[in-house]
A and B are shown apart, each in its own frame.
Chain A
Amino acid sequence: MSEEYPVVWFQGAGCTGCSVSLLNSASLKFKDILLDEIVPGKKLNLRFHPTVMAGQGEMIINVLRDTKEEKKGEYILIVEGAVPTLNNGIFGAVGEKTILERVLELGKNAFITVAVGNCAAYGGIPAAKPNPTGCKSVKRVFEENGIDTLVVNLPGCPPHPDWMVGTLSVALRGLPLDLDEIGRPRLFYGKTIHENCERRAYFDKGKFAQKFGEEGCLYELGCKGPYTSADCPLREWNNGVNWVIGAGSPCLGCVEPEFPDNTSPFYRKLSWEEMKNEKNCN
Chain B
Amino acid sequence: MKKIVIDPITRIEGHMAVETFLEGGKVKEAKSSGTLFRGFEIILKNRDPRDAARITQRICGVCPAIHAYTSALCLDDAFAIKDKIPHNARVIRNLILGSNFLQSHILHFYHLSIPDYVDLGKVVGKVAPFTPAYEGDFRLSDEVNAHLATHYLQALDIRRICQEMLAVFGGKMPHNVGIIAGGATLIPSVDRINDFKGKLKEIRDFVDNAVLPDVLTVAKAYRDYFEIGKGCGSFLSYGGFVLDEGRFLKSGIVNSDRQFEELDPENIAEQVKHSWYADSESGKNPSLEETIPSPEKEGSYSFIKSPRYKEKVYEVGPLARLMVNYFTRQEEITRVAEPLLKELGLQIEEVPSVMGRHLSRAVECKVLVEAMSTWVEELVPGEPVYTEVEIPEEGEGYGLAEAPRGSCGHWIKITDKKIARYQVITPTAWNASPRDDKGVPGPIEQALIGTEIKDEGNPFEVVRIVRAFDPCLACAVHLIDTKGKDLGKYRIA
Taking Cβ atoms with an 8 Å cutoff, the residues of A that contact B are: 11, 13-21, 23-26, 29-31, 34-35, 45-63, 84, 90-99, 125-126, 128-130, 132-133, 135, 157-158, 211-213, 237-239, 241-249, 252, 260, 264-268
Decide yes or no whether B283 CB sits under 8 A from chain A.
no
Interface size on B, residues (CB 8 A): 89
Decide yes or no whether B463 CB sits under 8 A from chain A.
yes
Complex contacts, B121 vs chain A, CB 8 Å: 54
Q: How far is the CB of B429 from chain A (nearest CB, A)?
A: 16
Return 26 A-B CB contacts under 8 Å, by A number: A14-B474, A15-B61, A16-B14, A16-B60, A17-B174, A34-B129, A45-B128, A53-B130, A56-B11, A56-B463, A91-B37, A94-B15, A97-B482, A129-B46, A130-B42, A132-B43, A158-B61, A213-B185, A238-B172, A238-B173, A241-B167, A243-B171, A247-B176, A249-B171, A249-B180, A268-B48
The answer to whether B6 touches A57 (Cβ under 8 A) is yes
B462-493 CB mask vs A (1 if < 8 Å, else 0) is 01000000000010000111100000111111
The answer to whether A242 touches B168 (Cβ under 8 A) is yes
Complex contacts, A30 vs chain B, CB 8 Å: 156, 160
The answer to whether A237 touches B51 (Cβ under 8 A) is no
The answer to whether A55 touches B133 (Cβ under 8 A) is yes
The answer to whether B195 touches A241 (Cβ under 8 A) is yes
Decide yes or no whether B374 CB sits under 8 A from chain A.
no
Question: Within the assembled complex, what's the spacing in Å between the Cα atoms of A247 and B96?
Answer: 12
Q: How far is the CB of B301 from chain A (nearest CB, A)?
A: 14
Known: A57-B490, A241-B195. A264 touches B132 (CB 8 A): no
Nearest to A59 among chain B residues (CB) is B132
The answer to whether B388 touches A211 (Cβ under 8 A) is yes
Complex contacts, A17 vs chain B, CB 8 Å: 58, 60-62, 64, 174-175
Question: Within the assembled complex, what's the spacing in Å between the Cα atoms of A49 and B39?
Answer: 25
Complex contacts, B408 vs chain A, CB 8 Å: none
Complex contacts, A16 vs chain B, CB 8 Å: 13-14, 60-62, 474
The answer to whether B54 touches A61 (Cβ under 8 A) is no
Q: How far is the CB of B65 from chain A (nearest CB, A)?
A: 12
Nearest to A88 among chain B residues (CB) is B482
The answer to whether A95 touches B42 (Cβ under 8 A) is no
Complex contacts, B61 vs chain A, CB 8 Å: 14-21, 158
A-B contact count (CB 8 A): 277
Given contacts A58-B493, A247-B177, A249-B180, 8 further A-B contacts (CB under 8 A): A23-B156, A31-B153, A51-B13, A54-B132, A59-B493, A96-B482, A248-B187, A260-B54
Nearest to B38 among chain A residues (CB) is A126
Question: Within the assembled complex, what's the spacing in Å between the Cα atoms of A30 and B59?
Answer: 24
Known: A15-B58, A26-B160, A242-B171. A51 touches B11 (CB 8 A): yes
Complex contacts, A98 vs chain B, CB 8 Å: 482
The answer to whether A91 touches B59 (Cβ under 8 A) is no
Complex contacts, A264 vs chain B, CB 8 Å: 47-48, 51
Complex contacts, B15 vs chain A, CB 8 Å: 11, 92-94
B108-137 CB mask vs A (1 if < 8 Å, else 0) is 000110010000110010011111111000
Question: Within the assembled complex, what's the spacing in Å between the Cα atoms of A133 and B184?
Answer: 33
Taking Cβ atoms with an 8 Å cutoff, the residues of B that contact A are: 5-11, 13-15, 35-39, 42-43, 46-48, 50-51, 54-55, 58-62, 64, 107, 111-112, 115, 120-121, 124, 127-134, 153, 156-157, 159-160, 163-164, 166-178, 180, 182-187, 195, 384-386, 388, 463, 474, 479-482, 488-493
The answer to whether A132 touches B42 (Cβ under 8 A) is yes
Q: How far is the CB of B17 from chain A (nearest CB, A)?
A: 8
The answer to whether A247 touches B129 (Cβ under 8 A) is no
**4 closest residue pairs by CB, A with B:** A57-B493, A17-B61, A247-B171, A132-B39
Q: How far is the CB of B391 from chain A (nearest CB, A)?
A: 10
The answer to whether B51 touches A266 (Cβ under 8 A) is yes
The answer to whether B481 touches A90 (Cβ under 8 A) is yes
Complex contacts, A245 vs chain B, CB 8 Å: 171
